[in-house]
């Protein structure tokens, strides 16, 4: 159970003037499960409507978008009187019915005592179309794959999550705890945060069964390309998706179109990249040459890296051997540290809802893995796969911008060294820009 999202759902339920809730996220991140679980725990009844599985549901929205009539007809169809406030209505895969999506506006304006939670795997694509949805009439939540902290919960290791959330991050933790968390992190690199894969491993401890589930999820994404993407973009989507592991295995990990196809040009593939972003399957980190708020104004849109939504799926795409689960720290160094960098990108997005950036000096002689933008500061972050404490790239950044603090993450224990804060990779959620009171 993703308790952070569940807490936000409870807050939404208790709000006096309720807008419909729209839960976004990539396919198989657990949107349907958590909405149903929330509904069964907190409401009298759950009225579940899946517009992809049952396209006939769309007929109730064709005549008009009057909430009273829609509720009355849904009550007859479901053979259940829908009581506002006591029952939860779930509109799942709502992107399959544009009229149902637009009806949320009228529920917000005319019937805000009705509790409606909508979800969809391809909502990002739907909502990116101009005029497809009235702005300001819904509350948005986004569901990501499970973070490392949520993974600890799922694996019965909640005491270690509590430990991390309540520590003095400038002081090393007990070595036994540190080594155990590294072991758990290695498992997370292989399993990732897709709920079905995590549940399988938590129940069975079987890496092969977990890999089968991961491969099934990847196949479902590829099937979505063919089913939902513009026909002209389908071959491009497949080429980009298949190239992610190749790009991350490169030393500088920059996305290069010619690595997809020799004749590939940026303008021909941009729509496909945006489609993958809108579905939540990839994250883009854009290069910047300066460290000023807001970073988006200084981003080089032609220079970027591409990460997969989940480090476990990345391993499945790369065909990482299951045996690496028990081979010490080897997994951290595979593919030029690609899993480590992808892991950090994934945690930054899910914990902090960060747009990803990295620093690239003029002329490209120096790079720093991530720049994390918080309200009062830009936090430079160097990522290392092993235990090397040297920070040449971080020092280069420091010489140019002289920030008040520098962050480094690797497999070493917590440590403060001047203005460099060393965070173990398992504690990336304690990034100093987010929790300055810990330092």
Q: Residue 288 and residue 319: Cα distance in Å, rounded?
A: 32
Q: Residue 353 and residue 421: Cα distance in Å, rounded?
A: 22
Mean pLDDT of 328-340: 69
In this structure, what CATH number is given to the domain that contains residue 123?
3.40.50.300
Query: 228 and 167 in one domain?
Result: yes
pLDDT at 75 over 60: yes
Q: Tens of pLDDT along 130-178? A: 555 666 889 999 999 999 999 999 999 999 999 999 988 778 999 999 9
- Mutual angle of helices 175-191 and 195-204, in 10-degree steps: 120
* Cβ atoms of residues 360 and 305 within 8 Å: no
Task: Among 142, 175, 197, identify where a domain stops.
Answer: 142
| Residue 436: predicted pLDDT | 60
- Sign of the Cα torsion 260, 263, 269, 272 reads negative
Query: 156 and 80 in one domain?
Result: no
| Residue 432: predicted pLDDT | 74
Q: How many domains are there within the chain?
A: 2
pLDDT at 22 over 90: yes
Mean pLDDT of 402-406: 91
**Strand-pair category, 45-50 with 87-92:** parallel
Burial of 91 (0-12, 13-18, 19+ CB in 10 A): buried
Residue in this structure with the two tokens 């391809």, named with its chain if needed: 122
Backbone phi, psi, residue 117, to 5°? -120, 120
pLDDT at 332 over 70: no
pLDDT at 280 over 70: yes
Query: 270 and 240 in one domain?
Result: yes
Query: 153 and 131 in one domain?
Result: no
| Residue 313: predicted pLDDT | 97
Query: 161 and 121 in one domain?
Result: no
Query: 424 and 364 in one domain?
Result: yes
Task: Among 142, 158, 183, identify where a domain stops.
Answer: 142
Query: 20 and 162 in one domain?
Result: no
Query: 94 and 167 in one domain?
Result: no
The DSSP output letter for 292 is -
Q: Residue ranges of the alpha helices (H) in 43-127?
A: 67-78, 98-110, 123-127
* Cβ atoms of residues 309 and 223 within 8 Å: no
Q: Which residues contact 278 (CB under 8 A, 6 or more apart)?
A: 122, 124, 125, 127, 128
Query: 189 and 44 in one domain?
Result: no
| Residue 248: predicted pLDDT | 85
pLDDT at 326 over 70: no
Domain that holds residue 35: 3-142
DSSP line for 80-97: S---TTTEEEEEETGGG-
Query: 265 and 202 in one domain?
Result: yes
| Residue 275: predicted pLDDT | 95
Q: Residue 403 and residue 202: Cα distance in Å, rounded?
A: 42
Tell me how far the alpha carbon of residue 123 is from its chain's centroid.
15
Q: Tens of pLDDT along 425-438? A: 999 999 876 666 55
Query: 426 and 362 in one domain?
Result: yes
Query: 182 and 121 in one domain?
Result: no
Q: Is the pTM of this model over 0.85?
A: yes
Task: Among 91, 123, 142, identify where a domain stops.
Answer: 142
């Amino acid at each position: 159970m993703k308790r952070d999202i569940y807490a936000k759902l409870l807050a939404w339920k208790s709000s006096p003037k309720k807008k419909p809730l729209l839960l976004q996220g990539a396919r198989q991140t657990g949107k349907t499960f958590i909405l149903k679980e929330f509904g069964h725990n907190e409401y009298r009844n759950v009225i579940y409507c899946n517009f992809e599985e049952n396209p006939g549901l769309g007929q109730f929205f064709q005549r008009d978008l009057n909430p009273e009539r829609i509720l009355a007809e849904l009550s007859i169809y479901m053979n259940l009187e829908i009581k506002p406030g006591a029952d939860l209505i779930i509109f799942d895969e709502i992107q399959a019915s544009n009229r149902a999506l637009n009806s949320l506006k009228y529920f917000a304006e005319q019937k805000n005592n009705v509790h409606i939670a909508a979800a969809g795997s391809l909502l990002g694509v739907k909502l990116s179309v101009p005029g497809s949805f009235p702005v300001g009439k819904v509350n948005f939540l986004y569901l990501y794959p499970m973070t490392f902290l949520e993974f600890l919960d799922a694996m019965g290791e909640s005491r270690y999550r509590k430990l991390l959330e309540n520590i003095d991050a400038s002081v090393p933790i007990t070595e036994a705890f540190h080594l155990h968390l590294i072991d758990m992190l290695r498992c997370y690199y292989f399993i990732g945060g897709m709920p079905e894969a995590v549940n399988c491993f938590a129940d069975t401890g079987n890496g092969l069964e977990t890999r089968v589930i991961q491969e099934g999820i990847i196949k479902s994404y590829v099937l979505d390309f063919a089913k939902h993407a513009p026909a002209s973009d389908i071959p491009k989507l497949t080429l980009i998706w298949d190239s992610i592991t190749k790009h991350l295995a490169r030393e500088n990990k920059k996305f290069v179109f010619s690595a997809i196809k020799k004749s590939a040009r940026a303008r021909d593939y941009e729509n496909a990249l945006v489609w993958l972003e809108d579905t939540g399957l990839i994250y883009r980190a854009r290069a910047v040459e300066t460290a000023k708020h807001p970073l988006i104004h200084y981003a080089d849109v032609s220079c970027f890296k591409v990460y997969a939504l989940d480090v476990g799926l990345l391993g499945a795409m790369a065909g990482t051997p299951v045996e690496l689960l028990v081979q010490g720290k080897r997994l951290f160094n595979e593919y030029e540290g690609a899993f480590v960098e992808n892991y950090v990108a994934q945690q930054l997005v899910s914990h902090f809802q960060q747009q990803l950036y990295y620093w690239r000096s003029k002329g490209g002689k120096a790079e720093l893995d991530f720049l994390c933008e918080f309200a009062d500061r830009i936090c430079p972050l160097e990522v290392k796969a092993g235990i090397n404490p040297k920070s040449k790239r971080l020092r280069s950044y420091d010489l140019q911008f002289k920030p008040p603090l520098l962050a480094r993450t690797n497999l070493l224990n917590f440590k403060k060294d001047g203005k460099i804060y060393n965070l173990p990779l398992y504690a990336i959620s304690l990034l100093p820009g987010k929790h300055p009171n810990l330092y």
